[in-house]
Amino acid sequence: MRLLLFDFGAGEIMLVVLAILLVFGPSKIPEIARGLGKFINDIKHASEDIKTEINREADRIDREKRLEEYKASMDKETDIPKTKETKKDSQ
């Protein structure tokens, strides 16, 4: 059975954990794990913030486009050609 985590198998993960134990020692492992967890959490929050900003900007652009379309349709509806009577009334 293959445990997939970034396309690493269980044996490969065990090898990496063993290498970390040999290089840093067992006393540093909790500190490294906390730092890695904090880093991953920060990355998740940053990506969520980026998605939120992209969606907010897309919504703003969509609102501006709809407002311009509405203004254009209102200009067409209120653009009534002046007749002789309306010209006299406006003088």
Q: How far apart are the first and last CA of the chain?
A: 90
- Domain-located, residue 18: no
Q: Is residue 11 assigned to a domain?
A: no
The predicted pLDDT at position 1 comes to 44
Distance of CA 73 to the CA centre of its chain: 33
Measured distance CA(66)–CA(69) in Å, rounded: 5
Within-domain flag for 72: yes
Domain containing 67 equals 26-77
Q: What is the pLDDT of residue 89?
A: 55
- Which tens digits make up the pLDDT trace of 76-86? 777 656 666 65
Asked, for residue 45, whether it belongs to a domain, the answer is: yes
Phi first, then psi: what are they for 18, rounded to 5°? -60, -40
The DSSP bridge partners found for residue 76 are none
Give the pLDDT score at 84. 60
Indicate whether 15 belongs to any domain. no
- Domain-embedded: residue 5: no
Q: Which stretches of the chain score pLDDT less than 50? A: 1-3
Could you give the C-alpha distances from 24 to 21, 34, 35, 64, in angstroms and in order?
6, 14, 14, 56
Whether 25 contacts 15, CB under 8 Å: no
Query: For the chain, what is the domain count?
Result: 1
- pTM exceeds 0.75: no
